[in-house]
Amino acid sequence: MKPSTSKGRTSLRWTLLLAAIFLAALIGGLVFRLAPELRRPAKIDPAFQMAPAFFVTSLPTATRFDFPIGSENGAFAYNAQPFTQNRHLGDDLNGIGGENSDLGDPVFAIADGGVLFAREAGPGWGNVIILLHAYEENGARKYVQSYYGHVDEILVVPKQMVRRGEQIATIGTADGKYWAHLHFEMREFTTPFIGPGYRDDTRGWLDPSAFIASHRGAPADDVGRLSASPTPTPGRGD
């Protein structure tokens, strides 16, 4: 009786020891694997932060939308890769001179609105500006975002209000990664989201050229930039 009890106790001890080792290894492995997540600052990336409610409600109501480079109605610009071609989420807009002839050319705010984002957005993007616009459609206040990628110079700061036709940037190359062009997106969401540039699922993204064409708010031959302003400031074409 006695030896067998002691034998039982020994095997129980061994079982407990093995269980403890297994548990320690499991916890150790989990901690090791989760360490990068645990060490990451709790603050949410600014790219995913919601636009402040005050900023959104104080946006002016845009009544007209223009093309961001060249002339207001899209002349003097060339779309090298339209929306959805090769899963593209925007238009690649170029000056008509080709290659880097449009480097440093002005990029204009397509409509009255506010600056959601204006800074370096990582390799592949270079400098990015995101504007948020409020407009009215069928009696409802709606929001649309315009996204200006690979820009060279940034001429606005976040939360700043901008007017349609105001120069906000210059055309860039994303630090020499591409021939100079403007990667231009329009989106239905209000968050300052950088995004992938290319994707199969285009929900939330709009065809930029089609949106502007259907929201010009002016006849095609009207070139009166900032005509609503009592003190006209020099616009494009100067």
Shortest CB 90 distance to Zn ion, Å:
5
Shortest CB 161 distance to Zn ion, Å:
27
Backbone angles phi, psi at 10, to 5 degrees: -65, -45
Q: Kind of pairing, strands 113-120 and 140-151?
A: unpaired
Helix H or strand E encompassing 178? none
- Give me the amino acid identity at 95: G
Nearer to Zn ion, 73 or 94 (CB): 94
Nearer to Zn ion, 64 or 183 (CB): 183
Nearer to Zn ion, 72 or 92 (CB): 92
Q: Which residue ranges make up the site for Zn ion (CB under 5 A)?
A: 92, 183
DSSP string covering 67-112, please?
Answer: -SSSSTTSTT-EEEE-TTGGGBSSEEEE-TT-TTTTTT-EEE-SSS
Shortest CB 190 distance to Zn ion, Å:
22
Nearer to Zn ion, 163 or 183 (CB): 183
Question: To which residue do tokens 């800074």 refer?
Answer: 119
- Residue 159 is encoded by which pair of tokens? 């939360």
Shortest CB 97 distance to Zn ion, Å:
19
